[in-house]
Amino acid sequence: MFAMNISSLSKRAALALLLLASVSPLRAADTIKYIAQPGSQVKIEGTSNIHDWTVHSQIISGSMEVSPEFDKDLKTVTPAPKVEVSIPVRTLKSDNKKMDEVMQDHMNMKTHKDIKYQLTGLTVKSEPKGANGPGEYTSTGDLTINGVKKSVEMPVTIERVEGGKLKIKGSAPVKMTDYSIKPPAPALAMGLIKTGDDVKVTFEWVLAKPTETAAQ
């Protein structure tokens, strides 16, 4: 009787391990890693009572780890790719140095030097056209600005471009106050400028496998 119970428990344990293995996230050995490349860019657009404004950066650091299936046809998004992004606040520039200083001050750049993003989910909205795409997806992820982390959803497109690189494009509306940033209202020569709370973040991110990067 005791031996039968042990045998039954062993079978249950084995079944549990098999089920756990089937839903476990990708291990590093199972993934193909892409690294951020030059040619990326991010743009933040906002408004004020004087004029609209825009800041740009061409530095989007980070990486994307995908399954071999996703790397083959861009369709298999389960499990979701592992994506980590970092944008230095100091690299966000406009054509107005004073405006840049005000923006960096309100974003507490000295304490929170980077804007960070981590992907938490990806679903196919429109299947890629062939192995190279582009495909349309709905992404969810954690966006951290000024040390405040919020979950955001945004539409993105992913396609394979020349040299086997991946190009990801997307945009999302953001409220500054959601990230504990008070919209700037600097007093300049033209008077008091009141900045709108709503901004739009648009990006184009280029990635390549390390072996392909080294070959360039």
In contact, 141 and 168? CB cutoff 8 Å: no
Rounded to 5°, the CA angle 166-113-44 comes to 55
User: Which pLDDT belongs to residue 50?
Assistant: 86
The Cβ-side half-sphere exposure at 158, using a 13 Å CA radius, reads 27
In a domain, 172, yes or no: yes
14 within some domain: no
pLDDT in tens, 168-185: 999 999 999 999 999 988
The answer to whether residue 120 sits within a structural domain is: yes
Instruction: Say which residues have a Cβ less than 8 Å from residue 24's Cβ, sequence separation at least 6.
Output: none
Q: Is 211 part of any domain?
A: yes
* 63 within a domain of the structure (yes/no): yes
In a domain, 10, yes or no: no
Is the residue at 114 inside a domain? Answer: yes
Q: Is the pLDDT of residue 25 over 50?
A: no
- Given this model, what pLDDT does residue 189 score? 55
Confidence of residue 190 (pLDDT cuts 50, 70, 90): low
- CATH value at residue 47: 2.40.128.110
Decide: residue 213, CB within 10 A, 0-12 exposed, 13-18 middle, 19+ buried: middle
Domain count along the chain? 1
Expressed as residue numbers, the domain containing 141 is 31-215
- Give residue 29's pLDDT: 55
> Chain-centre distance of CA 198, in angstroms?
19
Kindly state whether residue 24 falls inside one of the protein's structural domains. no
**Residue 16 pLDDT grade (very low, low, confident, very high; cuts 50, 70, 90):** very low
Q: pLDDT band at 17, cuts 50/70/90?
A: very low
pLDDT (tens digit per residue) in 71-96: 999 999 989 999 999 999 999 999 98
